[in-house]
Amino acid sequence: MASEFSLRCYCYLDRMQPQYAAFVGTITQGDLPVEGMASLYIEMAPGNEVFRTVDIAVKATEAKPGAQVVEREFGMFEIHSLNQADVLESGRIVLERIGLSIEERIRPQVASIQLITNVDPYQAQLLNRWRRGSMLVPGQTLLVVECFPAAYINFACNEAEKKASINIVHVSSVGRFGRMWLSGTEAEAETARDAAVRALESIEGVKSEF
């Protein structure tokens, strides 16, 4: 099994921040999370393995599934609970059953960072048509961070909110790359950028190309 399975992301969030939890609540098709819950994202290939691993995770503890996604290349799921031990135990059992260790996950990499100051009203309107979070207000600074594998962007976003007073405009964590749009003052956007990069760089794993 281990020779065929790729653990692309194993990403634990110890405490979901207020905006991040609220944003996830707008996009989830499963159990709704709330602020303060612990969360675990696991992304894998082949994608169809997600059905079996979700079954393992939710039967292991009282942690609830918020997402179960299979797209063209990869599968991803998320579980959460107010009890951190439940989330960690479900993750441990999933790894045990698929015959892999956390060290075999892919190490995240920052693919690109953009800091756009004094956002133009027309660009703000374009982005607002696609966002599921806060409105992007003209004149704010927009931070765009892209990472690989995609699901790690959730950890980066949650950690950025811990350190900076920013607004979450949108987060996309399915596919080959994950992206987040955050807005605020230039100084807060820079603080969020640094926190997101530190968070991604803190995760150990196996190096892989984009």
DSSP string, 43-65: EEESTTHHHHHHHHHHHHSS-EE
- With a cut of 80, say whether residue 1 has pLDDT above it: no
State pTM to two decimals.
Answer: 0.95
- With a cut of 90, say whether residue 169 has pLDDT above it: yes
Same structural domain, 100 and 72: yes
Same structural domain, 75 and 165: no
Q: Would you give the distance in Å from CA 15 to the centre of its chain?
A: 13
Q: Is residue 207 part of a domain?
A: no
Residue 53 confidence (pLDDT): 96
Q: Is residue 168 part of a domain?
A: yes
Residue 25 confidence (pLDDT): 95
Report the percent of the chain where pLDDT is more than 90: 94
Same structural domain, 113 and 187: yes
Sheet harboring 178-184: ordered strands across? 109-116, 141-148, 178-184, 167-172
When pLDDT is averaged across residues 128-142 and rounded to a whole number, the result is 96
- With a cut of 70, say whether residue 2 has pLDDT above it: no
Q: Is residue 18 part of a domain?
A: yes
List 147's β-bridge partners, or say none: 110, 178
Same structural domain, 69 and 118: no
Q: Are 136 and 128 in contact (CB under 8 A)?
A: yes
Residue 143 confidence (pLDDT): 98
Same structural domain, 118 and 166: yes
Where does the pLDDT of residue 73 fall: very low under 50, low under 70, confident under 90, or very high at 90 and above? Answer: confident
Same structural domain, 85 and 20: yes
Containing structural domain, residue 92: 6-104
- CATH number of the domain where residue 197 is located: 3.30.70.1710
List 69's β-bridge partners, or say none: 76
CA dist 49 → 44, 89, 94 (Å): 7, 19, 11
